[in-house]
Amino acid sequence: MPSANYGERVKSLVLHFTAIDYARSVTALVDEGGLSSHYLIPESNDPSDPGGKPRIIRLVDENMRAWHAGRSYWQGRTGLNDHSIGIEIVNVPECERDGDMAPSLAEHGSNRLCFFPDYDPAQIEVVIELVKDIIARHPDIEPTAVVGHSDIAFDRKNDPGPRFPWFELYQAGVGAWYDNETLADYWKTFNEQPASIGLLQSALRAYGYGVIETGIADTSTLNAISAFQMHFLPWHVSGEPDSRTTAAVFALLDKYFPEQKDALLSRYEKERELAIATAESELPGVRRGQVDAVLPDLRPSKRAFVKDRFAFKSYAGRGELIIESNLPASATVSVNGEVLSLDDEFAADNTYRYSLARRTRTGINTLAVSNIEPAEAQLHIQVPYPELKDNTQAYQNRFTAVDELINQEVAEGFPGAVLLIVKDGEIIKR
């Protein structure tokens, strides 16, 4: 009696290019000791093909395991030979290798230069016909599981290449694609605040790629990005993480895996807020004084002489020092080399104000802070900007000639003048 407890073996469909002509493809896929696929699709006008036109050639029964995927991963499954159908499409790129460069196992490595020809339109019609028939017989093949060899083995393979018309297949009802409007929305978002490389790695894995989140743009990740771009951004195959690529991954997740997309977007928002906060903390803030510092400095100068030392402008007999502490604390503070007499201990969250009138001189002064105790204490040190004093009364009779000249100019039609004279921190003429 038949059991109700079973599932389909075939979960994915993998498309390849042969990289060699029809005759050599048959040898490689049919002769003992080689590779195999379930189907082979020739192209038009191949001199090595007696048939001379695209057609469906079955090589391995769909119920059997063909040897086309090799070491592979997709959507949590490894060894895709066990649960996929493979289609080899005759298409021959022209590739050159630079022997002087470091070797790479990846077919899209930097030591390899390839020229990819367009696919034969008649051949693609046959591919679409075959794929639609396969999917009708294997309903467990989801749109996101119609993939290329490079998607499932991005560290090794580059087929079916950037010229394969994935979007044309999607328009025919085969495979996955994003919505352009959604892509544009995500692109604008990631232009404003780029996603971290770790987030992009997680997003690629959520869609199906065998990417490991490392937080760095390692070689394997860049290979995966190249494979993704060849499939979904064939006009932009840079192999680099950017806002277009991240937007395309998220647009696909938005359409096919919304729960994973929501979780990743939540993470993005948290990382975005942290990035903004970090950037703001590193920008020059609004200073409340010419000296406005928290000590000890978590990023001190390597030069011992300038450590916790500050220069400030003052006038003789003027100036103020303001100190706040996060904990009960003590410190040694000196101005122009003279130690100030301060409270033995600063209470937490209190504000202390000390006059510097006996220590300052006209011009540049120095402030030094040391011996902050306990070690975990932090002092907020401020020296306000100097304020101008109004001393016009003492100088009112010294500018009579200037006043007469200005009044004469006004009488002769000059619209007026505003004059302010400052000397040694005092306004002497206004």
Burial class (CB in 10 A: 0-12, 13-18, 19+), 374: exposed
320 catalytic? Reply is: no
Interstrand relation of 330-335 and 39-41 (parallel, antiparallel or unpaired): unpaired
Q: 């696909």: which residue's tokens?
A: 252
Q: How many CA atoms lie within 13 A of 363 on its CB side?
A: 2
Which of 88, 273, 373, 412 is an active site residue?
A: 88
> Active-site residue numbers?
88
